[in-house]
């Protein structure tokens, strides 16, 4: 986890901070927070002032993970990037559409809970609801969650209990170093979420 945290800070200049980790129990692994009903075991902040703990330097990352090498790698949004989170089914539909349209794409993650996060420039989360309304959608009708200031995401390869690890769908590369603005992605993402919601409603009626 140390190597990944250092790489994110050093190569991408992303802020990182250590979260909880998984500890061996009698028959399984449990979150280091000690809560047997933890909703994100091994993948959430370990302290309330996590925003002040985040660092964008490789030396800072080495120091933090040197204290607990098994800690998950978490990244605050609203600083060097925001994300737009949506269901996996809608996310892959959006990816196919974006690639056909030859639109710019940044990194994209997939969690074991089948949620995809598309990286965009900071400030995108605040702009997203108005952009969705301009497209004719009510933001509350779409499972499209903008995450900016005050939020965080778990970075690959953080494990979320027994569910599995967070993965890259599109890895950080030299080609996607420059993140897209939310305006460039919002239409395909909203469309995909709308299609996904309609398919879910149809399945329920059937």
Q: Give 87-133 pLDDT, tens digit per residue.
A: 999 999 999 999 998 888 999 999 999 999 999 999 999 999 999 99
β-strand partners of 23: 30
pLDDT at position 4 over 70? yes
Q: What DSSP character marks residue 14? A: -
CB 29 within 8 A of CB 23: yes
Determine the Cα–Cα distance for residues 75 and 56; give it in Å rounded to an integer: 10
CA distance 139 to 30: 36
Query: What pTM was estimated for this model as a whole?
Result: 0.94
Q: pLDDT per residue over 143-156, tens digit each?
A: 999 999 999 999 99
């Amino acid at each position: 986890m140390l190597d990944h945290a250092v790489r994110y800070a050093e190569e991408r200049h992303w802020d990182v901070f250590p979260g909880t980790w998984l500890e061996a129990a009698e028959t399984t692994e449990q979150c280091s927070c000690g809560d047997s009903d933890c909703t994100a075991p091994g993948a959430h902040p370990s302290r309330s002032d996590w925003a002040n703990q985040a660092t964008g330097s490789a030396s800072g990352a080495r120091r933090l993970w040197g204290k607990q090498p098994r800690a998950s790698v978490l990244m605050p949004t609203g600083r060097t990037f925001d994300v737009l989170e949506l269901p996996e089914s809608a996310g892959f539909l959006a990816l196919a559409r974006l690639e056909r349209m030859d639109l710019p794409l940044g990194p994209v993650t997939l969690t074991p809970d089948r949620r995809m996060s598309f990286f965009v420039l900071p400030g995108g989360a605040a702009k997203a609801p108005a952009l969705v309304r301009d497209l004719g959608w009510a933001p509350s009708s779409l499972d499209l969650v903008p995450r900016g200031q005050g939020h965080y995401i778990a970075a690959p390869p953080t494990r979320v209990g027994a569910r599995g690890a967070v993965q890259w769908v599109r890895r950080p590369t030299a080609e996607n170093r420059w993140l897209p603005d939310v305006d460039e992605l919002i239409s395909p993402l909203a469309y995909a979420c709308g299609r996904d919601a309609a398919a879910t409603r149809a399945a329920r009626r059937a």
